[in-house]
Amino acid sequence: MQAEQQPEAAADPVSSSDAPEDGPKETSSVSHNISDADAFKIILEMKMKKRQKKPTLPSTVTELDTEDGSKVYVVGTAHFSDSSKKDVVKTIQEVQPDVVVVELCQYRVSMLKMDEKTLLKEAKEINLEKLQQAIKQSGVMSGLMQMLLLKVSAHITEQLGMAPGGEFREAFKEASKVPFCKFHLGDRPIPVTFKRAIAALSFWQKVKLAWGLCFLSDPISKDDVEKCKQKDLLEQMMAEMIGEFPDLHRTIVSERDIYLTYMLKQAAKQIELPRASETEPRKCIPAVVVGVVGMGHVPGIEKNWNSDLNIQEIMSVPPPSASSKIFKFVIKATVFGLVGYGCYRIGQRTVQLILSMPAAQSYLQKLTEIRSQH
């Protein structure tokens, strides 16, 4: 997949709601001969009346402005949090956005349409089939790293009994209720992120990270998750992460801060109103955007907001290093070795079982007698 095609793919709307659910009832008194442009204006006026001039927003919302007057409301969330879901719903209802952007890519969009029970089950079940799918999608090294991080998510899921991504599902539902509201995927494709993360780590850093993730067992409470919404605690956690794996922080956090900022700014471009005729002058209005991202990305988005961003560099995947090739060979050799040994053991037991059967023993005895006669 070419790097320059990725931003467009990530920006494609998953769902777009062109009219409110109660639209036909509220516009039933309007003449059936009304033009599309007039109908758009009527529904838009209804939306504007519902949009609060001074919205009452949760403390987790950061307001950003563009040069052309568009407004972006970034909701910082904890990915396993009931209060984050409420914050997202409240924000969308108050500002009645034109676009909702979430921290998801096309590879994780399936979580939007799954129910909580199915997601909870999926998150807890990490099996060989999922590993094969991850390796096929992202390569051996990236696939293994993806599965290790899924293990972290599954650990939190098991501790809290709550599936991840609830705030994104709420955003998806609420966006569908707002007239003319588009729903965009704003995160960098996960294979690109993992491949760049793997390439940034040394051989021993990969081993150390994999070891730490494999043996993760610290208990996590709901209070711990809610504390992640506090910027001071979050910055402390990030500082610890930077000290341990600075290159990993750059690829997984900082680069995605840039990508998310770029996608939010793209979504916040002015909206062109439909015209009744070709002679009517073009008219644009500022857009209102709601972004739903993890709280850890909010400081980076604020930092990059007024910068000229070029995302082509962070979309490229560097060639594998010598250490990556060695590690890949070791992993493959280990897997094939285990499979081969398993086949050998199964074959050995099968032969022993067959030879222990009375019919086989009788046949061998007759064969021995025939050979002794000759």
Domain residue ranges of the chain, discontinuous segments joined by + = 70-323
Q: Transcribe 178-217 into DSSP letters.
A: STTEEEEE-SPPHHHHHHHHHHHS-HHHHHHHHHHHHT--
In 3-state terms, what secondary structure has residue 99?
Answer: strand
β-strand partners of 61: 75
pLDDT band at 1 (very low <50, low <70, confident <90, very high): very low
Q: What share of the chain is helix, strand, coil (3-state, %, to 5)?
A: 60, 10, 30
pLDDT confidence of residue 155: 65
Q: Transcribe 285-354 into DSSP letters.
A: E--EEEEEEEGGGHHHHHHHTTS----SGGG--PPPPHHHHHHHHHHHHHHHHHHHHHHHHHHHHHHHHH
pLDDT confidence of residue 20: 40
pLDDT band at 127 (very low <50, low <70, confident <90, very high): low
pLDDT band at 250 (very low <50, low <70, confident <90, very high): confident
pLDDT confidence of residue 143: 67
Which pLDDT tens digit goes with each residue over 28-43? 444 456 777 778 778 8
Centre a 10 Å sphere on the Cβ of residue 266 and count the other Cβ atoms it contains: 18
| Residue 246 contacts residue 252 (beta carbons within 8 Å) | no
Q: pTM for the full model?
A: 0.71
pLDDT band at 12 (very low <50, low <70, confident <90, very high): very low
Burial label, 13 (beta-carbon count in 10 A; 0-12, 13-18, 19+): middle
Q: What percent of the chain has pLDDT over 90?
A: 31
pLDDT band at 108 (very low <50, low <70, confident <90, very high): confident
pLDDT band at 49 (very low <50, low <70, confident <90, very high): confident
Cα–Cα distance, 300 to 71 (Å, whole number): 18
What does the pLDDT average to over 264-271? 96
pLDDT confidence of residue 311: 94
pLDDT band at 266 (very low <50, low <70, confident <90, very high): very high
Average pLDDT, the chain: 75
Asked if the model's pLDDT at residue 71 lies above 60, the reply is: yes
Cα–Cα distance, 182 to 350 (Å, whole number): 60
Exposure b/e, 52-89, CB count within 10 A at least 16 = b: eeebebbebbbebebeeebbbbbbbbbbbbeebbebbb
Q: Would you give the distance in Å from CA 350 to the centre of its chain? A: 46
What does the pLDDT average to over 344-353? 60
Going by C-alpha positions, the residue among 4, 261, 320, 308 that lies closest to residue 138 is: 320
pLDDT confidence of residue 116: 67
